[in-house]
Amino acid sequence: MQNKKRPDSSEFACLAPNFGGKTESMTVSSPPQGTPLAANASHEPKPARDISPGCRRTVVLTGASGGIGILIARRLLDQNYRVIALCRSKPAIESELLSHIACDLGASGSLAEACSRIHEHHAPVFAVIHCAGTISPSFMATADEKDITTQISLNLSAPILLTRHLLPLMQTIDGRQKSCIVFVNSMAAVMPLAGSAVYAAAKAGLRSFALSLAQEARPRGILVSSVFPGAVQTDMLIREMKEGGSVLNYVSTPLDPDVVAKAVTDQLIRCGSERFLPAIDGVFGRLCMLAPCLLRLSLPLLRFIGKRGYLRTKTRL
């Protein structure tokens, strides 16, 4: 029988799940002081040791086929994580470290089935990144009921249900790198937008869920964080503006999706509780949450700046 040793602080330890469902424990330790290098050299050649941040740990990623998600997936693969992509269409990435599980997150049966496949073949899970989302701008008086339920389902219910299914599969790690759950939220969580009331409500609910979950999960060694981007240059923003999205999306220049992807993957290494992009918009949004009259007073100016930004972008296209 193999003796299992707990990693001490001089070792960088990682649990590397393989796709047979078993877990190998790999440690990288420095040789004891005074050990002649030649003595080490005489040993059998050892297989190359993996000291990348990912260390072949499993990350479940939703929205991996989308504008931000695909860049998150690429960054994770570059860092040697195993990525389980949960989305309806296969992400356009060829890598043996990426597995696609076709899943409609809006259908609870499909979500449960995907989770049981993860349980059977890919557990333990090191991190979960919730990136899937959708927006259908419309004013409440004319909003389509199906669009309302889809937005609540995809932006709020699905991340909650998925978290419920995956938490028991998450490994807790005592070392420096804790397990993480990261939510890709939106500035709309703190910046209410006319015409996007349902999306804003779902994202505000998701923020509250993440903050509550953080309190529950921390004692188990699992850190929870959220990233709140303003508008991002992806198909989602293009679709949103075609369907009558708010010009407030253009008060600041829309973000490069890779900047958001980096902020998200950075959370796996330095997990903070909330990160707003751009930071200044986050400060303003949170002030407006404290005093909603501040938003009401500044809306005319914001609309003016946003309209100019939108027209500038349109003429450039």
Interface with ligand NAP (CB under 6 A): 63-69, 87-89, 103-106, 131-134, 154, 184, 186, 229, 231-232, 234-237
- By beta-carbon proximity to ligand NAP, the closer residue of 191 and 223 is 191
In degrees rounded to 5, what are phi and psi of residue 62? -95, 160
- By beta-carbon proximity to ligand NAP, the closer residue of 170 and 277 is 277
Work out how close the CB of 89 gets to ligand NAP at its nearest, in angstroms, rounded to a whole number.
4
Work out how close the CB of 106 gets to ligand NAP at its nearest, in angstroms, rounded to a whole number.
4
Work out how close the CB of 250 gets to ligand NAP at its nearest, in angstroms, rounded to a whole number.
11
d(CA 212, CA 206): 10
Work out how close the CB of 149 gets to ligand NAP at its nearest, in angstroms, rounded to a whole number.
12
Work out how close the CB of 46 gets to ligand NAP at its nearest, in angstroms, rounded to a whole number.
40
Q: Which residues contact 110 (CB under 8 A, 6 or more apart)?
A: 103, 104
User: Residue with structure tokens 């903050």?
Assistant: 211
Amino acid at 289: M
- Is 75 strand, coil or helix? helix
- By beta-carbon proximity to ligand NAP, the closer residue of 173 and 231 is 231
- By beta-carbon proximity to ligand NAP, the closer residue of 65 and 177 is 65
Q: Which residues contact 254 (CB under 8 A, 6 or more apart)?
A: 230, 231, 232, 233, 237, 313
H or E element that contains 179: strand 179-184
Q: For the stretch 156-184, what's the b/e string if a residue is b when 16 or more beta carbons lie within 10 angstroms of its beta carbon?
A: bbbbebbbebbbebbbebeeebbbbbbbb
Work out how close the CB of 18 gets to ligand NAP at its nearest, in angstroms, rounded to a whole number.
26
Show the tokens assigned to 223. Answer: 């850190």
- By beta-carbon proximity to ligand NAP, the closer residue of 14 and 81 is 81
- By beta-carbon proximity to ligand NAP, the closer residue of 88 and 220 is 88
Whether omega for the bond prior to residue 7 falls within 30 degrees of 0, making it cis, is: no
Work out how close the CB of 240 gets to ligand NAP at its nearest, in angstroms, rounded to a whole number.
7
- By beta-carbon proximity to ligand NAP, the closer residue of 88 and 312 is 88
**In the complex, which residue's CB is closest to ligand NAP?**
66
56 dihedral zone (left: phi>0; alpha: psi -120 to 50; beta): left
